[in-house]
Structure 1
Amino acid sequence: MGDVVARAPGVMGNVMVRAVAVAAAAFLLPAVPAHAAAEDEGMEKLFTFKDPKITESSGLAVSPTHGDVYYTHNDSAAAPTFYAVDGSGRTKATFQVRGAQARDWEAMAATKDAATGRGVLWFADIGDNLDGAWPDISIYKVMESQTVSDATLPATRYRFRYADGGRNAEGIMINPKTGRLYVVSKEFAASVYAAPKKLRTDRTNILRKVAGAPLMATDAAYAPDGSSYIIRTYFSATLYKPSGETIAKVTMPELRQAESITYTPDGKALLTGTEGPKSPVYRVPLPAAAQPAATPSPAKAANTTQPTTEPQAGADTGTGGLTFKDILIWLAAAVTAVGVITFIARRTR
């Protein structure tokens, strides 16, 4: 499959893989309406984006400092722009990011600066449909506005390069305990890549593979307490310990093109969205195994040592959470892609 796609003309190969993967999912997954699946699994539709300018919601984050405020951005746009919406999906503010490009924004994350208490937003310009066409990728750090009103915010740009060659990616996450940033590639053999502990603006930062990920990962997020992280695909989501060990699969609502995921502020549920005009955002309860632990008493906390369990570079932990259905989807996508590419090749000879 990889060699065949690599020989496809221009950008067609990777775009086609994305399309056939989604088509295969639609073919193999049961045709259940999103609202029905949500009711069956205890999910609920939180809101629908009402702004006609939000057409390709690709990143999703909850404001670290403003109550009932959610951020999103489009997949790509003429200018680097993101939106703050309220719990009903109405846009409260539109922000422009100064000093940033919007080549292919695919994900965002939100953290809080431990020293100042200010919110910090991260925007990932990491999409690469040619799997390595760009010499580097960029992630922008933006201090959250202290007021929810239209503004232009300055960005700090960090450049990155993968240690093992170019990748297409659509997910970033930041461990709130360590501040370490991770990029999750979007491939049939996807991986989690760790950034250096200290990011540099004066040189390219190297991303190193530390764990496996589910195939065709479209987003990722860390729990607010750092106890777990989630990786979303077009088909489902998988929860992991910080070490990379799988905790559980989480059933997701049936969405047209699932592109985003994040945790609620209390860490007890997930929020997930999709591309498209007036797209919905669903709230999905976490399984008991992934619920945040109760806060220990001061006496117990003083006698408890929390070991660092994050995966280290070179330690590829976990299998990526593949299920039998995932394998069927991969096979269907592979067969379909090979057939379509062969047809195109014959027509263009």
Structure 2
Amino acid sequence: MRTTRLPAVLLAAACATATTAVAVGAGATFGAPSAHAADPGGQAFAIGDPRITESSGLAASRQHPGVYWTHNDSDDGPYVYAIDSQGRTVATVTLRGVEPRDVEAISLGPDGRLYVGDLGDNLGGKWPEVWIYAFAEPAELHDQTVEVTRYKVRYEDGPRDAEALMVHPVTGRAYIASKKQGGGGLYQGPEKLSPTGVNTFRRIADAPWTTDGAFSPDGTRLVLRGYFSATLYRWKDGAPSEPGPLSTPFQRQGESVTFTSDGRALLYGTEGKDSPVWRAPLDDEQLPDTVEPLRSPTPAPSAPSDPSDPASPASGTAAPPSRAEGEDAPASTGDKVLGVAFLAAIAGAVFGLRRKKREG
């Protein structure tokens, strides 16, 4: 969704996440370093297609490992793009007979279909209905035009703006999270979407300010993200529970999120030209129920000490201390300078937004 001014509540959030942004800029790990010493996270790729300047949703492919589906939001057309792990477009899919209004989300269902949410409402909830388009994930990656099924959607409690569509990977039920300053709602669709008539979505839970969301591949976790933050929920008996905050990269307009196909990490995307997509591994306690935590290899037994070796404890001279496995090396001067500069840039951006808000 295109914006020119952020709500005041989000400016405070930007300041709160500045420390996280510096850590990401310096290559720090997401989560517990002992579990992810070999997977520190960081930028996975950047979307290089000049046509994709407002990437607003992400979905990991099941048929094509390392491929992600994305789309622009408004003013683009009926297009969905397949992006590989290098950020290259490997297929452009045109949705036949569709004239989208404000496409904001994409999700992959258990039936092998991609669901595209034409849910955005820049008028603040004035459209009487919105739409979901569904089509089979292509078996081959090349430019093509596909037939779609169109579902008409209304909310039980009236029109609203929304940018997150999540199809449960086990039940196939669709959920929408509305976008509202101060908190929105999580809406549940009918057990099965109907291509005729109206599909009414009813509110089942509160939700934070949400620009995208995704279920884990096994359906036991739900993530909802906003511009500067994200929340992870356990999903049980068709409802979210036990919310917990996630560390997120600082992005200029965080718009998308998806789980990797193995469920071990999240990918965060943003709008803009050459927009970066960041990978954030999940801590052990955050992993989906069917994903085993990674364990550090057991160190090999050490050889007996040689008293004649000056570095041996038996020699009376202590060996120099070494870093524990998974412990980060001390930051170099360059890293410190980078961190300070990055923090200053963020502070300047937030100050500018505040000034712009006052002048507006």
Q: CA deviation at 1:15?
A: 5.8
Query: Which is richer in helix?
Result: 1
Give the Cα separation in 1 of the matches to 2:7 and 2:50: 24
Q: CA deviation at 1:76?
A: 1.4
1:30 aligns with 2:31: no
Give the Cα separation in 2 of the matches to 1:107 and 1:295: 26
- What TM-score does the superposition give when structure 1 sets the normalisation length? 0.75
Mapping of residues 59-138 of structure 1, within 5 Å: 59-113=57-111, 119-138=112-131
Give the Cα separation in 2 of the matches to 1:161 and 1:17: 28
One-letter code of the match for 2:280? V
Give the Cα separation in 1 of the matches to 2:173 and 2:271: 28
- What TM-score does the superposition give when structure 2 sets the normalisation length? 0.73
| Change over 3 Å in CA distance of 1:157–1:26 after alignment to 2 | same
Give the Cα separation in 2 of the matches to 1:208 and 1:218: 19
1:43–1:253 Cα contact (<8 Å) kept: no
Say what the alpha-carbon RMSD is for the aligned residues: 2.6
Report what 1:54 is aligned to: 52
| Change over 3 Å in CA distance of 1:34–1:97 after alignment to 2 | farther
Mapping of residues 4-15 of structure 1, within 5 Å: none
Report what 1:168 is aligned to: 161
One-letter code of the match for 2:234? K
| Change over 3 Å in CA distance of 1:179–1:21 after alignment to 2 | same
| Change over 3 Å in CA distance of 1:123–1:295 after alignment to 2 | closer
Q: CA deviation at 1:22?
A: 5.2
Report what 1:239 is aligned to: 232
Q: CA deviation at 1:64?
A: 1.5
Report what 1:248 is aligned to: 244
| Change over 3 Å in CA distance of 1:268–1:29 after alignment to 2 | closer
Mapping of residues 134-173 of structure 1, within 5 Å: 134-173=127-166
Aligned residues: 286
Q: Please list every run of 5 or more consecutive structure 1 residues that lacks an aligned counterpart in the other structure.
A: 1-13, 114-118, 297-331, 345-349
Q: CA deviation at 1:23?
A: 4.8
1:275 aligns with 2:271: yes
Report what 1:39 is aligned to: 28
2:14–2:228 Cα contact (<8 Å) kept: no
Task: Pick one of 197, 202, 209 that aligns with 1:203.
Answer: 197
Q: CA deviation at 1:38?
A: 5.0
Q: What secondary structure does 2:101 align onto?
A: coil
1:37–1:253 Cα contact (<8 Å) kept: no
One-letter code of the match for 2:142? S
Give the Cα separation in 2 of the matches to 1:233 and 1:56: 15
Question: Residue deviations 1:154-187, cap 9 Å, x none?
Answer: 1100011111111100001111121110000000
Report what 1:304 is aligned to: none
Question: Residue deviations 1:294-338, cap 9 Å, x none?
Answer: 489xxxxxxxxxxxxxxxxxxxxxxxxxxxxxxxxxxx9xxx79x
Give the Cα separation in 1 of the matches to 2:187 and 2:6: 21
Task: Pick one of 179, 196, 200 that aligns with 1:186.
Answer: 179
One-letter code of the match for 2:192? K
Question: Residue deviations 1:17-73, cap 9 Å, x none?
Answer: 646555554455427457426524232211001111110100101112112211110
One-letter code of the match for 1:169? A
Report the identity percentage.
Answer: 42
Which structure is larger by alpha-carbon Rg, 1 or 2?
A: 2
